[in-house]
Amino acid sequence: MTLAAKVLLLQLVVIVVLLVAVGVLSIRQSNADFAEERGDQMASVAEYVAVQDLVRTRLEEVRDGAERWQVAADLTSYAERGVRLSGATDVLVLGPDGTVLAATDASRVGERADLGGGEVRNGRSGTADVEPGGERRVAAYAPVISDARGDNGAVGAVVAEVAYPSVADQLSEAAPELGLFLGLGAVLGLAGTWVVSRVVRRSTRGLGTTELANLADQREALLHAIREGVVGVGTDGRVTVMNDAARATLGLEDAPDPVGRPVDALGLDPHVVALLTGEGGADARDALALVGHRVVVFNRGRASTGGRGIGTVTTLRDRTELVSLQSQLSSNLSITDTLRAQTHEFDNRLHTISGLVQLGEYDEVATLVGTLTRHRAEVGEHVAKRLADPAVAALVVAKHAVAEERGVTLELDPGSRLPALAPDLAADLTTVVGNLVDNAVDASAGGAEPAVELWIHADDDAVHVRVRDNGPGVPADLRDAVFVRGWSTKGEVLGGRGIGLPLVRLICTQRGGEVVVDDAEADGGGGAEFRVVLPVGGAVRQDGRP
């Protein structure tokens, strides 16, 4: 059955239940009205019979010891008269002890009557529901007062009873009105149910409950099976969907279930919260953010139904491993660029030497070769005296060649001091220095007297790096974005996004350090200054060996 059909069936069941409840309440109300109306009539009949002089006299005789059979005939005639006058079911005349002395139903003579309480013995009348023989009746009782001795005592009582009508009688009596109400209710209920079923069918696109349940189960299985994180956020800023991959990526595995909670109450970085909630209204495409030690790519789109926005859906991809691969590729590209630069430089030098040889200028050849050799030796000696780690020193020499090819002066600060490092720290430091120097060279190239200054210094606790350039600098409003959003001065790079600076921050964060960017104007020339602190953590070799 479709959901609409089930709703229709359930609505019909509800209508039937309501109609039955209305019928029960109507019957109960009818019984209450019957008890009130007929109870008053029975009270009048009981009082009428109780005040008859002959009834009082005969009951006084019974009290004084007369045999009950001697007065039964006179008392029965009055009981029958009460029935004829009121249409009562039965009229009883009771003795002082509550025993039936006379009744229109002779089978009840001699039984003890249920008076519904002891009021009649105290000279008070009243009404009550009784069930003689299992039949429910309204009974009115009135005391028979004797004043023969002047004590105004009750010598007996008169009870008038009328049976409640049966349910069948009540239904047959109320059949026209009840049928009208039931029919009208059924028609209105069916019409309303049909309208509801149409609305439900349109809303569920004709799917049945089993199909909807299957769709929900498949959705849950799909969300929790895919490796990409999925986060749904409603228009009120609360999480509506978050799969296992998203919880793992955001570091919420051990936190309470985030579904139903505000995003800003999950303890996430404000930038991550903004990416998930869609502040600003625009969709996000391949936005990079650092979440803990992970580099995560966010893609956010708006969800709507019937043209009405219902929130946003964001996918999360952990690109930490990809960033590591890109770092390796970047290192390889750096080496390639260095070799290309050196090849280009050697070609130029060889062409020059070849020309001088052809011209016979052998003294000039010797001078040129000496100059080139001396320049390379000076650069290598300058770096080697200050940087004892071979990997870092080789990187700086290679970057010096690349910078020269692009017309940029790369200078290693004379105050730089670096001992030999453990392999893992050396690898991280070369990645940091390589990316910062590349960015600085790119930023300053093409300017007037482009220059980049590099300073590296290690103490017992950390390695400190400072890279300055005289390029255009980094605007204040982009100093966070350059680390988390793939901002790059290079334009289109790997994947269309800059990855070098996010990688630098990732390495610093993983080692418990930091990287900051500021203006380099204090030292003249403008540009940007990047400062890095990499905690050593016992990574410096004490003996200079691996």
What is the Cα–Cα distance from 457 to 227, expressed in whole angstroms? 42
What is the Cα–Cα distance from 506 to 292, expressed in whole angstroms? 9
Most confident of 123-132, 253-262, 356-365: 253-262
User: Where does the pLDDT of residue 546 fall: very low under 50, low under 70, confident under 90, or very high at 90 and above?
Assistant: very low
Q: Which residue has the higher pLDDT, 509 or 363?
A: 509
Of the ranges 48-52, 95-99, 112-116, 467-471, which one carries the lowest mean pLDDT score? 112-116
What is the Cα–Cα distance from 291 to 484, expressed in whole angstroms? 10
Predicted confidence at residue 417, as pLDDT, reads: 93
Q: What is the DSSP letter of 520?
A: -
Residue 510, H or E segment: helix 500-510
Predicted confidence at residue 348, as pLDDT, reads: 64
Checking if the pLDDT of 189 tops 80, the result is no
Q: Which residue has the higher pLDDT, 460 or 149?
A: 460
Predicted confidence at residue 530, as pLDDT, reads: 93
Please identify which residue in the block is written with the tokens 């011209």: 359
Q: Which residue has the higher pLDDT, 371 or 546?
A: 371
Checking if the pLDDT of 52 tops 70, the result is yes
Dig out the tokens for 135 from the structure.
């039949």
Task: Go through the chain and tell me how many residues it has.
Answer: 546
**Which residues lie across from 143 on neighbouring strands?**
157
Predicted confidence at residue 3, as pLDDT, reads: 61
CA atoms 126, 131, 132, 136: torsion sign: positive
CA atoms 170, 174, 180, 181: torsion sign: negative
What is the Cα–Cα distance from 79 to 93, expressed in whole angstroms? 7
Mean pLDDT of 420-448: 87
Residues 6 or more apart from 57 whose CB is under 8 A from it?
Answer: none
Going by C-alpha positions, the residue among 119, 312, 123 that lies closest to residue 230 is: 312
Residues 6 or more apart from 170 whose CB is under 8 A from it?
Answer: 27, 30
What is the Cα–Cα distance from 294 to 251, expressed in whole angstroms? 10
Helices (H) and strands (E) in the chain, counts: 13, 15
CA 327 to chain centre: 38
What is the Cα–Cα distance from 440 to 446, expressed in whole angstroms? 12
DSSP 384-450: HHHB--HHHHHHHHHHHHHHHHTT-EEEE-TT-BB--B-HHHHHHHHHHHHHHHHHHHHHHTTSSS-
Checking if the pLDDT of 45 tops 80, the result is yes
* Pairing relationship of beta strands 409-412 and 451-458 according to DSSP bridges: parallel
Burial level of 154, CB count in 10 A (0-12/13-18/19+)?
A: buried
Residues 6 or more apart from 20 whose CB is under 8 A from it?
Answer: none
Please identify which residue in the block is written with the tokens 């991959």: 245
Question: What is the residue type of 402?
Answer: V
Mean pLDDT of 343-366: 69
- Over the stretch 367-419, which tens digit does the pLDDT of each residue have? 766 666 665 666 777 888 889 998 888 888 888 888 887 888 889 999 999 99
Predicted confidence at residue 324, as pLDDT, reads: 61
Residues 6 or more apart from 286 whose CB is under 8 A from it?
Answer: 297, 298, 299, 486, 495, 496, 497
User: Where does the pLDDT of residue 123 fall: very low under 50, low under 70, confident under 90, or very high at 90 and above?
Assistant: low
What is the Cα–Cα distance from 72 to 462, expressed in whole angstroms? 123
Checking if the pLDDT of 97 tops 60, the result is yes
Predicted confidence at residue 95, as pLDDT, reads: 81
Please identify which residue in the block is written with the tokens 């002082």: 96
User: Where does the pLDDT of residue 4 fall: very low under 50, low under 70, confident under 90, or very high at 90 and above?
Assistant: low
- Over the stretch 529-544, which tens digit does the pLDDT of each residue have? 999 999 986 444 434 3
Mean pLDDT of 130-152: 75
Checking if the pLDDT of 212 tops 70, the result is no
Residue 193 to residues 12, 16, 34, 210, 488: CA-CA distances in angstroms?
A: 8, 13, 37, 21, 62
Mean pLDDT of 324-350: 62
What is the Cα–Cα distance from 387 to 144, expressed in whole angstroms? 129
Residue 451, H or E segment: strand 451-458
Most confident of 106-115, 117-126, 329-338, 483-492: 106-115
Predicted confidence at residue 491, as pLDDT, reads: 45
Predicted confidence at residue 243, as pLDDT, reads: 87
What is the Cα–Cα distance from 63 to 68, expressed in whole angstroms? 10
Checking if the pLDDT of 42 tops 80, the result is yes
Checking if the pLDDT of 2 tops 80, the result is no
What is the Cα–Cα distance from 304 to 306, expressed in whole angstroms? 7
- Over the stretch 458-497, which tens digit does the pLDDT of each residue have? 988 899 999 999 888 888 877 777 776 554 545 443 333 4
CA 338 to chain centre: 54
What is the Cα–Cα distance from 412 to 385, expressed in whole angstroms? 11
Where do the H-state alpha helices sit in 149-250?
Answer: 167-203, 209-225, 244-249
Most confident of 55-64, 78-87, 262-271: 262-271
Share of the chain above pLDDT 70, in %: 73
Q: What is the pTM of this model?
A: 0.46
- Count of C-beta atoms within a 10 Å radius of residue 195: 10
Share of the chain above pLDDT 90, in %: 6
Q: Which residue has the higher pLDDT, 381 or 330?
A: 381
Mean pLDDT of 339-354: 65
What is the Cα–Cα distance from 503 to 327, expressed in whole angstroms? 8
Mean pLDDT of 207-223: 69
What is the Cα–Cα distance from 172 to 224, expressed in whole angstroms? 63
Sorted by where each starts, the structural domains of the chain and their CATH numbers stand as 3-168 (3.30.450.20), 226-318 (3.30.450.20), 362-535 (3.30.565.10)
Residues 6 or more apart from 261 whose CB is under 8 A from it?
Answer: 238, 239
Residues 6 or more apart from 529 whose CB is under 8 A from it?
Answer: 466, 467, 468, 517, 518, 519, 520
Where do the H-state alpha helices sit in 360-389?
Answer: 362-386
